[in-house]
Amino acid sequence: MSHATMNSTPTSQNGMTLEPTPELLEELAEASARLETATPEEIIAWGAERFGSGLTMATAFGPEGCLILSILSRVAPETYVFNLDTGYQFQATLDLRDRIAEKYGLEVEMLRPELSVPEYEAAHDGPLYVSNPNQCCFDRKIKVLHRGLAGRTAWMSGIRRDQSADRAQAAIVGWDKKFNLVKISPLANSTKQEVWGRIVKEEVPYNPMHDQGYPSIGCWPCTRAVIDGETDERAGRWSGTGKTECGLHSIDQQEGSGI
């Protein structure tokens, strides 16, 4: 299993913080533009080299996350990786942690909210995913993400620009104003077909629910299978509520984009 300390630069050691100075934003914009034509491996290697042990990754075990984990196992296996374990994840999602660990030797830490699901629902007279899903996501994802990112200088996500209109402007590298650190999206310019092509070819473990009509999988109360004719792969997330994101990936809160 991994998680030892990596080589680090003076501005990327775990426990240090970065400030979005003009110089840093310029560096990120230049890197993002340069990495537009790079492979995911090259982007991840750049992130590991630049930020060392300050680099982390949050994964929900989606196909993109699983592909990145397979690359991390070769390129930067000591990277700290965590999952936001809301208590509402599908069992098939939780099982992926073990399958990834078995295949790649990568340990994903499961970070949980302060209150268990029964405690949380008791405190709010029922499940907030029904009455106030934004608050539920804030309490059970965003707060936990802050904990996982504490002391880090860069985080990686598996978002792709072709996932949704919200994500179409995602930079390869940029400053995440919401969480106050660098955000790296090694698959931003990869297509769904490219990601799945690699997963199949390289036999990367993935959630079997993807073969059962669930292109995008989150918490079970807020995820349904897509219906015939639905082309938006995130159509089954928070369906019918008007909500499209849990708040982790606020593209309008990103600076330093090279696009």
Enumerate the active-site residues. Answer: 246
113 is a contact residue toward ligand SF4 (CB under 6 A) = no
- Contacting range for ligand SF4; rule: CB under 6 A; set: 26-34, 174-182, 196-204, 216-224: 216-224
Q: Euclidean distance between the first and final Cα of the chain, in Å?
A: 37
Nearest distance in Å: CB 243, ligand SF4: 8
The residue within the footprint of ligand SF4, chosen from 86, 190, 207, 216 (CB under 6 A), is 86
Q: What is the dihedral of CA 227, 231, 237, 240, to 10 degrees?
A: -70
User: How many CA atoms lie less than 13 Å away from 177 in the CB half-sphere?
Assistant: 10
Q: Which phi and psi angles does 102 have, rounded to 5°?
A: -65, -40
Nearest distance in Å: CB 196, ligand SF4: 24
Within 10 angstroms of residue 44's Cβ, the number of other Cβ atoms is 24
Annotated binding site for [4Fe-4S] cluster: 136-137, 219, 222
Nearest distance in Å: CB 174, ligand SF4: 24
How far apart CA 102 and CA 139 sit, in angstroms, is 31
Q: In what order do the strands lie in the sheet with 254-255?
A: 108-111, 80-84, 55-58, 154-156, 181-184, 173-176, 254-255
Nearest distance in Å: CB 128, ligand SF4: 7
Q: Report the Cα 206 to chain-centroid distance in Å.
A: 15
Considering only residues 228-257, where is the footprint of ligand SF4 by CB under 6 A? 246
- List the one residue out of 69, 26, 32 whose CA is nearest residue 47: 32
The residue within the footprint of ligand SF4, chosen from 50, 140, 152, 161 (CB under 6 A), is 140
Report the residue number whose CB is nearest to ligand SF4.
Answer: 219
214 is a contact residue toward ligand SF4 (CB under 6 A) = no
Length of the chain: 259
The residue within the footprint of ligand SF4, chosen from 69, 71, 137, 144 (CB under 6 A), is 137
Q: Which two tokens stand for residue 171?
A: 């930079």
Binding mask 158-197 for ligand SF4 (x = CB under 6 A): ----------------------------------------
The residue within the footprint of ligand SF4, chosen from 75, 76, 219, 235 (CB under 6 A), is 219
> Using CB under 6 A as the criterion, which residues of the chain lie in contact with ligand SF4 when the complex forms?
86, 88, 129, 133, 136-137, 140-141, 218-219, 221-222, 246
